[in-house]
Structure 1
Amino acid sequence: MPTTWLMMEQGAAGLAAPHIARFESVGRCLPGTRLATSELMASTRHRTGIDLERLTGIRERRVSGGHETSLSLAIGAAADCLARSRRRAEDLQAVVNCSITKYGDGLTQRVEPAMSLAVARAIGAEHAVTFDISNACAGMLTGVFVVANRIRRGEIDCGMVVSGEYISRLGVNAAAHVRNIMSRELPSLTLGDAGAAVILGRAPEGCDGIEAMGFTTVARHSRLCLASPAKHDPGARMFTKARSLQRAAIADVPVLLQEALDSVGLSVGDVQHLIPHQTSVRAIRKGMRVIRESLGGEPSKQTVVTVDRYGNTASTTHFVALAEELRAGRIEAGDRVALVALASGLEIGFALFTADEELVKSHGDDD
C-alpha cells in the first residue's frame, strides 16, 4: 500500500533542525463521576441483550456530572500540568487546544473566541500565542506535532498542548437508539470524559526527547465514522462502522508503524511502552497480536491499557494513559515510549520519545 508520512520537518536547506523537543510534564483532569458499563446498558431504551463489558472490556468510565465541560476539564488538566512543571504559566509561548468537543456552557459548541484563548487566560498564560486544532481523536498528537516542530526550528522555547473532552453525551444519545450489536451507534457507548495537557520544551544538550513523529491519512476510510448534531436530542450523534474500521486499522497500522520505526532505525522491540488509542481491550489485544505477527516483536515491557477504567476519551486518550503510567512509576528514565493514534479520517499517527529523569521525577503516584 503506497503511503505518505508527514514527518517532523527539517531545518533550512534540508539540514537537521537545530533543536530537539521533549515532553516536560503531563497533566490530566478526570470527572469524579464513575459510570459502570452495567449502569449505562441498563439505561438503554430498548432491551438489547448486549453484554458490552464482555464485548469491550470496559468496566466503567468517568463522565461529567453536569458541571464539568470541555473547557473546565481542559483548564483542570492545564493547571495539573503546570503544577508538575518547572515552568510558570507566563513562560508558555504557545497554548494549543485540540478537542473535538468545545462545550463551555451547556451543549453548545464554542466557535469564537477559541478554546485555547480561554484556557490560556484561565491559567495566566497571557503572553502565549493561542490557536485551536481539530483532528478527531488524533487531535492532541497533532498539536504536539505542530508545537514540537516550532521548538525544533527555534521559533519558541516551550508550549502547551491541551484538550478537554465532554464527549459522553454521545453515549447518552446512543442509549436511546441502540437496538442490537450491529447498531452503528454502539461504539458511542464506550466513550468517557477527560481533560489532558502536556508541556513541551527545548531539550538540553544530550537529551533524546522526541525522536520521531509522523501522520498519514488513509482517506478511502473517511466515512467509516461520522458525527453530526442530533436533530431531536441535545448534543450530537455518532455513527461508526466498527468492524470495517477495525479491519482497516489492523491492515494499515502495522505497515505504517514499521515505516515509522524504520525511519529512525529501530524495531518494535526497542520500544518499552506502547500506548495505542484506547478503543476497547479486545481491539487493543487483537491489534498487538497482529503487530507481533507482522513486525516480529512487541514492546519489551508492556502495551498500556486504560480503556477498561476510563473508556475511550477521544483526543485525550494517549495523555490520560501516559499520566497514569508516569504516576504509577511504570515508566523509568531512559525508557522509550511510542504513542500510536488512530482517528476518524482514517488518520494514523505515531510519536516516539525517550522519557528523561526530569519528566519521570515530576510525576508521583498521587491519584
Structure 2
Amino acid sequence: MIELSSATEIDAPAEAVWRTLTDFEHFSEWNPFIREAHGTTDVGGTVTVRVQPSFGGPRLPLHATILFRDDNHELRWKGSLLAPWLGAGEHTFTIEPIGAHRVRFVQREVFTGALPRLLAPILARETQRGFDAMNLALKARAESADRARSWMLLEPRSGPGVRVESVGSALPSRRLTTADLMASTRHRTRIDLERLTGIRERRVCGPGEDSRSLAIAAARDCLSRSRHAAEDLDVVISASITRYVDGTTHRMEPPLSLSIKEAIGAHRATSFDLANACAGMLTGVFLLDAMIRKGEIQRGMVVSGEAITGLGRNAARSIRSIFSLQLASLTLGDGGAAVIVERAPDGKPNVLLAGFTTLAEHSRLCVGLPAPHAPGARMFTRARKIHEVAMSDGPALIEEVLASRGLRLGDIDWLIPHQTSVRAIRSGERALAARMGDHPRHVVVTVDEYGNTASTTLFIALDKYLREGRLGAGDKVLLLSVASGLEVGVVVLAIDELQEAYGHAN
C-alpha cells in the first residue's frame, strides 16, 4: 500500500471550492493534473478521468466509482487503470473550513496492487507533482470565482440617486490607417494587424494637439449639452494615462486637472488627477457616485485626453514578430472624453450600478516603462494571457455583480466593453453567453475605426452611439472596463433624457 497527500489553504468558502471541484465539464480549462473528467458525482455512479503525467506523453485513462459524497466537505472515489488486481487507487478530496471564507483543501490517495508496488518511486513522484499542481490551480480558480466578494459596491439605497447628465468627446482629425502604420515599422514583420485585430484606422494627434487639448475640447463638448455651466461643477477629475502638454512634454506637476478646470472656467471646483490605467474614467465615475451619495457634492466631471499613439510609434521601431510584447501598442488611438455625473433630480437616478474589483495577481501582465532612446514610453503587454484571464475570470465576476442588483445579462440592451480588438470583444461575447446562458441585445464595437483609446474608450463609444441616435429611452447600458492591474469596473446606466441633448426624441 502506498499513501500520498497534498494540502493547501484557499481563500474562498467551502461552497465555491466544491462547485469548482465537482464541475467536471470545465476541468480542461484549469486542471493541470486531471485534464478531463466525465461522469457523475452521485454515490454509486462512475467517472472517467484522464491524468496528465508531468513528463508529457499521452493522458492516462482511469475509471472510478463514487464511494462517498458529502456536499461541500468530501468526495471519494475508487478506480483502476486496467484491472483492480493490477493496480487500484482510492482518491479522497476533503474540504475543511478554517474560517468564514477560508478552507483547507486536501487530496489523498491510497494505492494498492502489484503495479503501484513495482513503480513506487515514479508513481509517488508523478502523483505528488500532480496533486501539488492541481491544488494550486484549484486555489486560483476557486478564489477567482469567489472574488466578487471583493467588489467595491455602494448599497442601492444609500444616499440620493445618481445620474449621468451629459457626455462629450473630442477626436483628432488626422487618421492613420493600420496599413500605413505597419508600413512604418523598421523591420519587415509580415504581421497582418488589421486582420488580427479588426482595426482599420485610428485617430492621431496633429500639430497643436496633445492630452491637455483633447481633454479640454472633450470637456467643452460635454458642457455644450449640459444643463449646467462650468462654474456649477464641484469637482473636476482628470483620468488621463498620458499627460502631454505643449506637444511632447509629459507633465507630472501641476496636475492636468488644474489646467483643464481653468480652461473651461470651473474656477470653484476642487480638482485632482486620478491614475488607474484604461479604467481611469470609469473609476472617476465610481468616485463621483460615492461622493454624491454621501452628500459631499452635487455634481462633478470626469475628463481624459489620451495622446497615446506615441507608444505605437516607439513599438514600430523595434517590433519584429507577432509574439512581440509591444504588439498591443500598435492598436492604440488618440482621443478625449468627458462625462458629468450629478445628484439625480426628483429622485430619478440613471446609474443603476457602479462597482470595481482588482485581480492583483495579474498586475505584471501590462507594464509601461520609459523609452530609453526615444521620447515617451514603451508598453509591454502579455495580451494572450490577459485575454485568457478575462475569459476565465470575467464572466463569473460580471454575473455576480449584476446579480447583486437583481440584473441578468439579458436585461442589458447595450454592452460597451473596453475596446482592445474586434476579435477579443467577440470572444468575450461568446464567453459571457456560455457562462450566463444569456446575452445583451447589442455589443458595441468602435475599435475598428478609433483603435484602443485607453481610458476614454467607453465614453467615446457612448457619445458616438448617443450622437447617432442608437440609444433609446429606457435602454440599459453596461460599461465594462478591463484594464492593466488587472482592474475590472462596471457601470450600468439607464438611458433617460440623455439622448434629447443630441436632438433625438425619446
| TM-score of the two chains, using structure 2 as the length reference | 0.70
How much has 1:149 moved relative to structure 2?
A: 1.0
Counterpart Cα distance in 2 of 1:113 and 1:363: 35
Counterpart Cα distance in 1 of 2:408 and 2:370: 43
Which stretch has the larger CA shift, 111-120 or 135-144?
Answer: 111-120
Counterpart Cα distance in 1 of 2:188 and 2:174: 25
Counterpart Cα distance in 2 of 1:231 and 1:66: 24
Counterpart Cα distance in 1 of 2:413 and 2:284: 24
Partner of 1:354: 494
How much has 1:214 moved relative to structure 2?
A: 0.9
What SS class does the counterpart of residue 259 from structure 2 fall into?
helix
* Ranges in structure 1 where 5+ consecutive residues have no aligned partner: none
Counterpart Cα distance in 1 of 2:421 and 2:503: 27
Partner of 2:475: 335
Greater than 6 Å deviation, 4+ residue runs: none
Counterpart Cα distance in 1 of 2:355 and 2:150: 6
How much has 1:34 moved relative to structure 2?
A: 0.3
Mapped pair 1:257 → 2:398? yes
Counterpart Cα distance in 1 of 2:423 and 2:217: 31
What SS class does the counterpart of residue 205 from structure 1 fall into?
helix
> Which of 105, 119, 127 is matched with 2:260 structurally?
119
- For the 8 Å contact 2:209–2:247, the answer to whether it is kept is no
Mapped pair 1:163 → 2:308? no
Amino acid at match of 1:195: G
Amino acid at match of 1:360: Q
Partner of 2:348: 207
Instruction: Percent identity, please.
Output: 57
- For the 8 Å contact 1:192–1:312, the answer to whether it is kept is yes
Mapped pair 1:7 → 2:152? yes
What SS class does the counterpart of residue 502 from structure 2 fall into?
coil
Matches within 5 A, 1:1-367: 1=144, 2-3=146-147, 4-10=149-155, 16-300=157-441, 302-357=442-497, 359-364=498-503
Q: Deviations over 1:235-279 (max 9, x none)?
A: 000011111111011111101100111100010000100000000
Q: Deviations over 1:280-336 (max 9, x none)?
A: 000000100110111111112x10000000000000000000001101111111111
Counterpart Cα distance in 2 of 1:340 and 1:238: 22
How much has 1:51 moved relative to structure 2?
A: 0.5
Which stretch has the larger CA shift, 108-117 or 203-212?
Answer: 203-212
Counterpart Cα distance in 1 of 2:158 and 2:190: 56
Amino acid at match of 2:407: L
Counterpart Cα distance in 1 of 2:478 and 2:489: 10
Counterpart Cα distance in 2 of 1:265 and 1:6: 15
Counterpart Cα distance in 1 of 2:234 and 2:337: 18
How much has 1:111 moved relative to structure 2?
A: 1.6
Q: Computing the radius of gyration over CA atoms, which structure comes out larger, 1 or 2?
A: 2
- For the 8 Å contact 1:162–1:197, the answer to whether it is kept is yes
- For the 8 Å contact 1:62–1:194, the answer to whether it is kept is yes
* Ranges in structure 2 where 5+ consecutive residues have no aligned partner: 1-143
Counterpart Cα distance in 1 of 2:357 and 2:437: 23
How much has 1:364 moved relative to structure 2?
A: 4.3
**Aligned residues, how many?**
359
How much has 1:99 moved relative to structure 2?
A: 0.6
Counterpart Cα distance in 2 of 1:203 and 1:153: 13
Counterpart Cα distance in 2 of 1:8 and 1:341: 15
RCO greater where, 1 or 2, for CA within 8 Å and sep 6 or more?
A: 1
- For the 8 Å contact 2:352–2:492, the answer to whether it is kept is yes
What SS class does the counterpart of residue 322 from structure 2 fall into?
coil
- For the 8 Å contact 1:22–1:210, the answer to whether it is kept is yes
- For the 8 Å contact 1:328–1:364, the answer to whether it is kept is no
Counterpart Cα distance in 2 of 1:143 and 1:79: 18
Partner of 2:24: none
What SS class does the counterpart of residue 340 from structure 2 fall into?
strand
How much has 1:17 moved relative to structure 2?
A: 1.9
Q: Deviations over 1:5-50 (max 9, x none)?
A: 343335xxxx932211101110000001000000000000011001
- For the 8 Å contact 1:207–1:356, the answer to whether it is kept is no
Partner of 2:76: none
What SS class does the counterpart of residue 213 from structure 1 fall into?
strand
- For the 8 Å contact 2:165–2:340, the answer to whether it is kept is yes
